[in-house]
Amino acid sequence: MNWKRACIEILSWLPFSSPKVALYRKLGATMGNRVRIGRGSFIWSSNFGGVTVGDGVTIRDSTRFFCERLTIEEDSYVERDSFVSGSTFFLGFGSYFGQRMFVDCTAPVTIGREVIISYTNIYTHEMNYAWVTEGRERRRSGPVAVGRRSSLAPGIHIGAGVTIGEHVIVGSGSIVLKNLAPYTINVGVPCKEVRSIKEKFKAEVDLLDDIKKDLDNYFRQECRKNKMRILFGETLGKPELESRSIKNFFLIGNFVADEVFQILRSQSEQLISAFDLNRQLYHKNESKLTHEIKHRMRRFGLVFKPYDIPKGEDSNQLAVRQPI
């Protein structure tokens, strides 16, 4: 065992994350802000230049990544006691990677944005060399991909070469050996389509009142001493931003004007933030309260992306995404 591996394993048992994150950066990995790595969890790669962990990522206890190329995007949450090993693993923005996952990355594994998955085995190869009736057969392998906002119940087995479409629900205990179409419910051994759920995504759901009740209750219980205010509204623009007499506040609306986000970005505001519910965009700052509110709204099926949309990404892709 070389010194790098030894240092990583020793530091992995510390109860705080900062020295672990610092070591990964020194080894060449790209590590974001507010990355939390639990006890006994570590990342190993022969080339840490191929390791990227985004802002706000949490990796709980006793989870191991042995990957040549590893990407965990912003705000993903990795539960405890999971094991990922092989070539290339990608976990998309805002995804929940649950307990006791086993992922074989003989071929690349891609889990899209805002996916929920736990207690699942993913294999990218089918069999070892085996005797069959006509002689020896080489094992077959193929990449596995899970589409955006899919939800996979516990106890699933996913075989090699499978693509699961976006907005797919898979029932507990299923064995997935073939591709699953987008916007469907699937279950069984082997897994088969039960019905389509595409019609559900045409319905408009207004969550503003429910979010207001939840956050008002949260602030009464947890933020009594914090002089924080929240302005709710169907549409919020520059007048609402400028009318506030206090410095520490939030704007939350079904639509927040781009001008508001641009002002907040230009001023590098640390005490003010805004949340656009329809487009699921927010003003990203380093305030712990901003990120707490962002995480609380996950319970309503809302996963927020920072306003500074990456180049090449169509803003239409961020349009209304309602929970199932």
pLDDT of residue 285: 85
Task: Give, to the nearest 10 degrees, the angle between helix 288-296 and helix 208-222.
Answer: 130
Look at the block and give the residue holding tokens 């809302």. 302
Task: Give, to the nearest 10 degrees, the angle between helix 3-11 and helix 18-26.
Answer: 160
Q: How far apart are CA 247 and CA 245, in angstroms?
A: 7
Instruction: Record the tokens describing residue 279, joined without a space.
Output: 């487009």
Instruction: Record the tokens describing residue 39, joined without a space.
Output: 């006890």
What is the residue type of 43?
I
Q: Which residue in 90, 40, 44, 39 sits closest to 68, CA to CA?
A: 44
Sheet holding 281-282, edge to edge: 229-236, 249-256, 272-276, 281-282, 305-306
Residue 283 near residue 273 (C-beta atoms within 8 A): yes
Residue 283 near residue 274 (C-beta atoms within 8 A): yes
Residue 74 near residue 93 (C-beta atoms within 8 A): yes
pLDDT of residue 243: 66
Instruction: Record the tokens describing residue 65, joined without a space.
Output: 């990544």
Q: How far apart are CA 73 and CA 48, in angstroms?
A: 16
Residue 115 near residue 148 (C-beta atoms within 8 A): yes
What is the residue type of 86?
G
With the CA atoms of 106, 112, 114 and 117 taken in that order, what torsion angle do they form, in degrees rounded to the nearest 10? -30
pLDDT tens for each residue of 103-141: 999 999 999 999 999 999 999 987 555 555 555 556 678
pLDDT tens for each residue of 163-175: 999 999 999 999 9
* Cα 145-148-154 angle, rounded to 5 deg: 70
Q: How far apart are CA 79 and CA 59, in angstroms?
A: 6
Residue-by-residue pLDDT tens, the chain, 324 positions: 577 888 888 888 988 899 999 999 999 999 998 899 999 999 999 999 999 999 989 999 999 999 999 999 998 999 999 999 999 999 999 899 999 999 999 999 999 999 999 999 999 987 555 555 555 556 678 999 999 999 999 999 999 999 999 999 999 999 999 999 999 999 999 999 999 988 876 655 678 889 999 988 888 777 665 667 888 989 998 888 876 655 668 899 999 999 999 888 887 767 788 999 988 899 988 888 888 888 888 888 888 888 875 444 444 443 333 333
The structural domains of the chain, ordered by start, are 3-198 (2.160.10.10), 208-318 (no CATH)
pLDDT of residue 321: 38
pLDDT of residue 136: 57
pLDDT of residue 247: 65
pLDDT of residue 296: 86
**Which residues of 197-302 form beta strands (DSSP E)?**
229-236, 249-256, 272-276, 281-282
* Collapsed DSSP state (helix, strand, coil) of residue 68: strand
Residue 153 near residue 172 (C-beta atoms within 8 A): yes
Q: Are strands 135-137 and 192-196 parallel, antiparallel or unpaired?
A: unpaired
Q: Which residue in 225, 207, 229 sits closest to 216, CA to CA?
A: 229
Q: How far apart are CA 154 and CA 156, in angstroms?
A: 6
pLDDT of residue 69: 96
pLDDT of residue 322: 36
pLDDT of residue 137: 59
Instruction: Record the tokens describing residue 36, joined without a space.
Output: 């939390």
pLDDT of residue 205: 67
* Cα 74-36-317 angle, rounded to 5 deg: 10
